[in-house]
Amino acid sequence: MDRTIENRQEYKELQRRVKREVSKAKQKAYDELYTRLDTREGEKDLYRLARQRDRDGKDVQQVRVIKDRDGRVLTSEENIQRRWKEYFEELMNEENEREKRVEGVNSVEQKVDKIRKDEVRKALKRMKSGKAVGPDDIPVEVWKCLGEAAVEFLASLFNRVLESERMPEEWRRSVLVPIFRIRYRDDQRELHCVFVDLEKAYDRVPREELWYCMRKSGVAEKYVRVVQGMYERSRTVVKCAVGQTEEFKVEVGLHQGSALSPFLFAMVMDQLSEEVRQESPWTMMFADDIVICSESREQVEENLERWRFALERRGMKVSRSKTEYMCVNEREGSGTVRLQGEEVKKVQEFKYLESTVQSNGECGKEVKKRVQAGWNGWRKVSGVLCERKISARIKGKVYRTVVRAAMLYGLETVSLRKRQESELEVAELKMLRFSLGVTRLDRIRNEYIRGTAHVGRLGDKVREARLRWFGHVQRRE
């Protein structure tokens, strides 16, 4: 085509027309998206859109480079993969020193029922869609789509494994993805608490102790042999930003990511601590989070030593650097706690099960952390909450399920004062104003803002949660 003035003008006109059509198509797609998001079927798309916009706003999605043992930064893919393999191979095959058991335990030989189809059907129904696949690259959605054919096939396969006590070789392989992490007032008496940290708890469970504890707990021998088959010759690879490492053996610890591992770990801890644990509240355990409490420093120190001996003689190890001591309502000169002659770090606050415990019995720092958690949640879904074309009703629903849930976490057990409750509500109203595109200068009443977003008062929700928790505790008793 000749580059004449007429041709150039025609080209410019066509370019403007194409841009208008693209803009119209884009606007139509957005209109359809927002219309769909305002329906029950589109709610999943809403949260997917929020996650996508949160990812788009981050500069770095995945860390590619790592350091070697000497602190040098590795940049080549081969060296990075080799270092990941070296780290995890060492981590997942190192066993702590322990006493060998001399006493035996009787195995429970009993008939084991076959796995029923309704059990498989229920398990499939409970599995969430959209999760990462295993080495076979078969997502759970495939099994759900196959319906009864999948139920029959899986039930038959599981029963063959149960009967033969032999695992398919593919089940022994796993893919490991490294994830980077960011972290008593009655009568005015002292309460001494030690927060025990176990080094690499899941990765250091000796397999022999696992079999012993299963048998001691009365697990049928056939199930013990099936679990042993799951752990025999197990291998894994590390999936990192630059690809996958070579396979390596895993001979110590529990399987990473297995739905069975938390149950097995709880069983092991239950048996290993049987002789030393006390009833609540003097001993509190949740997986590997252990709290030992006493009204005297000497007693809590003695109990800590008993726990250390009971755990370390069986292959677990108490971390000297991460185990911490706190005295609630401390008086002058209460002293410190020692573990094998080494002073345990004394702290004024501790984060236990995502809640901050303070030595003065107050909850101000926990409230501030709940506010911060709310803002973190708000930023993650701000791509949806600040989108003008999404209705206030949908924004309110996203806010309640993501932001408010983070702010309310654990507050049913906290004694809030008026000032702290007000601090939470001020933060909430600020987030709602941002979401609805209004400011304090608009002089819109708080009740109207809450009504528009269909969000009730936060203080009322805290009281509801407290009553619900009280009923839960009463039913347990």
Residues 343 and 462 in one domain: no
Q: Residue 424's pLDDT band (boundaries 50, 70, 90)?
A: very high
Residues 397 and 344 in one domain: no
334 neighbors 177 (Cβ within 8 angstroms): no
222 belongs to a structural domain? no
Report the alpha-carbon distance of residue 409 to residue 376 in Å, rounded.
Answer: 14
- Which domain-ending residue is among 358, 391, 423? 358
Residues 190 and 332 in one domain: yes
How far is residue 68 from each of residues 82, 193, 201, 242, 387, measured CA to CA in Å?
10, 38, 24, 16, 44
Residue 118's pLDDT is what? 92
29 belongs to a structural domain? yes
Q: Which of 304, 201, 189, 216 is nearest to 253 (CA)?
A: 201
447-464: pLDDT as tens digits:
998 898 888 888 888 888
167-178: pLDDT as tens digits:
888 888 888 888
- Which domain-ending residue is among 358, 375, 393? 358
Q: Is the pLDDT assigned to residue 264 strictly greater than 50?
A: yes
Residue 99's pLDDT is what? 77
- Helices of type H across 232-317: 261-272, 297-312
Residues 286 and 368 in one domain: no
- Helices of type H across 92-147: 117-126, 140-146
Q: Residue 154's pLDDT band (boundaries 50, 70, 90)?
A: very high
Which pairs from 368-374 meet CB under 8 Å and 24+ separation? 368/423, 370/406, 370/407, 370/408, 370/409, 370/410, 370/411, 370/424, 371/407, 371/423, 371/424, 371/427, 373/406, 373/407, 373/409, 374/403, 374/404, 374/406, 374/407, 374/427, 374/428, 374/431
Residues 432 and 313 in one domain: no
Report the alpha-carbon distance of residue 66 to residue 240 in Å, rounded.
Answer: 11
Coil, strand, or helix at residue 55? helix
Residues 261 and 384 in one domain: no
Report the alpha-carbon distance of residue 20 to residue 67 in Å, rounded.
Answer: 50
346-372: pLDDT as tens digits:
888 888 877 788 887 788 888 899 999
Report the alpha-carbon distance of residue 366 to residue 414 in Å, rounded.
Answer: 9
Tokens of 21: 């059509």
Q: Which of 233, 266, 19, 221 is nearest to 108 (CA)?
A: 221
Residues 450 and 427 in one domain: yes
CA angle 405, 409, 411 (to 5 degrees): 125
Residue 1's pLDDT is what? 52
Kindly report the backbone phi and psi dihedral angles of residue 209, in degrees, each rounded to the nearest multiple of 5, phi listed first. -65, -35
Q: What percent of the chain has pLDDT over 90?
A: 16
240-255: pLDDT as tens digits:
888 889 999 988 889 8
What is the domain count for the chain? 3
Residues 373 and 389 in one domain: yes
Rounded to a whole number of angstroms, the distance between the first and last alpha carbons of the chain is: 88
When pLDDT is averaged across residues 228-248 and rounded to a whole number, the result is 88
Kindly report the backbone phi and psi dihedral angles of residue 294, in degrees, each rounded to the nearest multiple of 5, phi listed first. -160, 160
125 belongs to a structural domain? no
381 belongs to a structural domain? yes
426 belongs to a structural domain? yes
473 neighbors 280 (Cβ within 8 angstroms): no
Q: Is the pLDDT assigned to residue 149 strictly greater than 90?
A: yes
Residues 204 and 349 in one domain: yes
122 conformational bin, left if phi > 0, alpha if psi -120 to 50, beta if neither:
alpha
Flag whether the pTM goes above 0.75.
no
310 neighbors 290 (Cβ within 8 angstroms): no
Report the alpha-carbon distance of residue 228 to residue 223 in Å, rounded.
Answer: 8
286-309: pLDDT as tens digits:
888 888 888 888 888 998 999 888
39 belongs to a structural domain? yes
Residues 306 and 198 in one domain: yes
Report the alpha-carbon distance of residue 457 to residue 459 in Å, rounded.
Answer: 6
Residues 314 and 404 in one domain: no
140 belongs to a structural domain? no
Residues 339 and 377 in one domain: no
22-49: pLDDT as tens digits:
988 888 877 777 777 667 666 667 667 6
How far is residue 463 from each of residues 267, 312, 416, 420, 459, measured CA to CA in Å?
35, 43, 10, 14, 6
Domain with 293 in it: what CATH number?
Answer: 3.30.70.270
- Which domain-ending residue is among 56, 80, 95? 56
73 belongs to a structural domain? no
| Domain around 462 | 364-476
Report the alpha-carbon distance of residue 12 to residue 25 in Å, rounded.
Answer: 20
The DSSP symbol for 108 reads B
